[in-house]
Chain A
Amino acid sequence: MMDHKSEHPGRASLARFTRGELSREESREVVRHLLAGCPVCRAAVGSSWPQGAKAGARPGGNAGNGNGDSNVISFAERAHRATDYRDAFDRVARTLAAREESFLSERREVPALRRTLESLPAAERRSRVREDVTFHRWSLAEALLDESHASGGADVARAQELAELALEVAERLDPGRYPAAAVADLRARAWAQRGNTLRIQALFPQSREAFEKATQLLAEGSGDPAERCRVLLLKAALAGDVKSYDEAERLLDRALWLGGRAGDRHLRGAALVRKSYLAQKRDETEKALELMRSGLALVDPEEDPRMLLVAQHNLVHMLVDTGRYREALERVEETRNLHLQLGGRLDFLRFRWLEGKIYQGLGWVRQAVSLYEDVRRGFVSEGLGFDMALVSLDLAMAYNQLGRESEVAELAEEMLPIFRSREAHQEALAAVLTFRDAVRNRTATLSLMQEVSDYLRRLRADPSARFRSSQGTG
Chain B
Amino acid sequence: MTQPSIAQQGITEILPRVRPALERVLGGYDIPAEDAEDVLQDSYLVLLHKWEQVQCPEAWLIGTVRKKCIMYWRKRRRRLIDAMEASLLELLVEPARPLQENRDLCRDFERVLARLPPRCQTLLRLRFVLGLSPCEVAAEMGYQPSSIRKITSRCLGALTRELTAVGFLEER
B143 within 8 A of A: no
Q: What number of A-B contacts does a CB cutoff of 8 Å give?
A: 230
For A99, the chain B residues whose CB sits under 8 A away are: 45, 48
For A107, the chain B residues whose CB sits under 8 A away are: 6-7
- Quick check: which of B86-94, B119-127, B130-138 contacts chain A, the rest being far away? B86-94
Which listed residue (B24, B67, B105) contacts A79, Cβ 8 A?
Answer: B24
Which listed residue (A78, A80, A87, A226) contacts B54, Cβ 8 A?
Answer: A226
A433 within 8 A of B: no
- Asked if residues A222 and B86 are in contact (CB atoms below 8 Å), the reply is no
Which listed residue (B12, B83, B168) contacts A54, Cβ 8 A?
Answer: B168
Which listed residue (A24, A96, A223) contacts B48, Cβ 8 A?
Answer: A96
B149 within 8 A of A: no
- Per the bound structure, the CA–CA distance linking A53 and B80 in Å amounts to 14
B100 within 8 A of A: no
Name the residue in A17, A35, A43 with the highest tally of chain B Cβ atoms < 10 Å from its Cβ: A35
- Asked if residues B42 and A179 are in contact (CB atoms below 8 Å), the reply is yes
- Asked if residues A20 and B2 are in contact (CB atoms below 8 Å), the reply is no
> Which chain A residue lies CB-closest to B79?
A20
Q: If the complex has contacts A81-B27, A300-B1, are A179 and B76 also in contact, measured as CB distance less than 8 A?
A: no
For B148, the chain A residues whose CB sits under 8 A away are: none
- Asked if residues B169 and A89 are in contact (CB atoms below 8 Å), the reply is no
- Asked if residues A181 and B108 are in contact (CB atoms below 8 Å), the reply is no
Count contacts on A: residues with CB < 8 A to the other chain: 80
- Asked if residues A264 and B55 are in contact (CB atoms below 8 Å), the reply is yes
> Which chain B residue lies CB-closest to A45?
B164
Taking the closest CB of chain B, its distance from the CB of A123, in whole angstroms, is 31
- Asked if residues A78 and B27 are in contact (CB atoms below 8 Å), the reply is yes
Name the residue in A54, A93, A264 with the highest tally of chain B Cβ atoms < 10 Å from its Cβ: A54
- Asked if residues A32 and B105 are in contact (CB atoms below 8 Å), the reply is yes
- Per the bound structure, the CA–CA distance linking A81 and B33 in Å amounts to 12
Q: If the complex has contacts A85-B36, A264-B55, are A96 and B161 also in contact, measured as CB distance less than 8 A?
A: no
- Per the bound structure, the CA–CA distance linking A24 and B90 in Å amounts to 9
A333 within 8 A of B: no
For A36, the chain B residues whose CB sits under 8 A away are: 108
A34 within 8 A of B: yes
> Which chain B residue lies CB-closest to A53?
B30
- Per the bound structure, the CA–CA distance linking A85 and B6 in Å amounts to 26
- Asked if residues A181 and B163 are in contact (CB atoms below 8 Å), the reply is no
- Asked if residues A37 and B55 are in contact (CB atoms below 8 Å), the reply is no
- Asked if residues B27 and A88 are in contact (CB atoms below 8 Å), the reply is no
Q: If the complex has contacts A18-B164, A32-B91, A181-B42, are A55 and B48 also in contact, measured as CB distance less than 8 A?
A: no
> Which chain A residue lies CB-closest to B10?
A100
> Which chain A residue lies CB-closest to B38?
A88
- Asked if residues B11 and A96 are in contact (CB atoms below 8 Å), the reply is yes
For B59, the chain A residues whose CB sits under 8 A away are: 263
For A76, the chain B residues whose CB sits under 8 A away are: 28
Q: If the complex has contacts A55-B171, A96-B15, are A30 and B87 also in contact, measured as CB distance less than 8 A?
A: yes
- Asked if residues A182 and B50 are in contact (CB atoms below 8 Å), the reply is yes
- Per the bound structure, the CA–CA distance linking A27 and B81 in Å amounts to 11
Name the residue in B45, B86, B112 with the highest tally of chain A Cβ atoms < 10 Å from its Cβ: B45
> Which chain A residue lies CB-closest to B42?
A179
29 A-B contacts (beta carbon < 8 Å): A19-B79, A20-B80, A24-B86, A31-B84, A35-B108, A35-B109, A37-B111, A45-B166, A46-B164, A49-B164, A51-B167, A55-B171, A56-B73, A57-B73, A57-B169, A63-B169, A66-B168, A76-B28, A78-B29, A85-B36, A89-B40, A93-B12, A93-B15, A97-B12, A99-B48, A185-B50, A222-B64, A224-B54, A265-B55
Q: Given A24-B90, A27-B87, list of 16 further CB < 8 A pairs?
A: A18-B166, A19-B79, A45-B163, A55-B70, A55-B77, A56-B73, A66-B170, A78-B28, A83-B33, A85-B36, A89-B22, A93-B15, A96-B45, A178-B49, A262-B55, A303-B2
Query: Using a CB–CB distance below 8 Å, which chain A residues touch chain B?
Result: 17-20, 22, 24, 27-28, 30-32, 34-37, 42-43, 45-46, 49-57, 59, 63-67, 69, 72, 75-76, 78-81, 83-85, 87-89, 91-93, 95-97, 99-100, 103-104, 107, 138, 178-182, 185-186, 222-227, 262-265, 300, 302-303
7 smallest CB-CB distances across A and B, nearest first, come from A65-B167, A53-B30, A20-B79, A46-B165, A79-B28, A31-B87, A50-B30
Query: Using a CB–CB distance below 8 Å, which chain B residues touch chain A?
Result: 1-2, 6-7, 10-12, 15, 19, 22-33, 36-37, 40-42, 44-46, 48-50, 53-56, 59-60, 63-64, 66-67, 70, 73-74, 76-77, 79-80, 82-84, 86-88, 90-91, 105, 108-109, 111-112, 161, 163-172
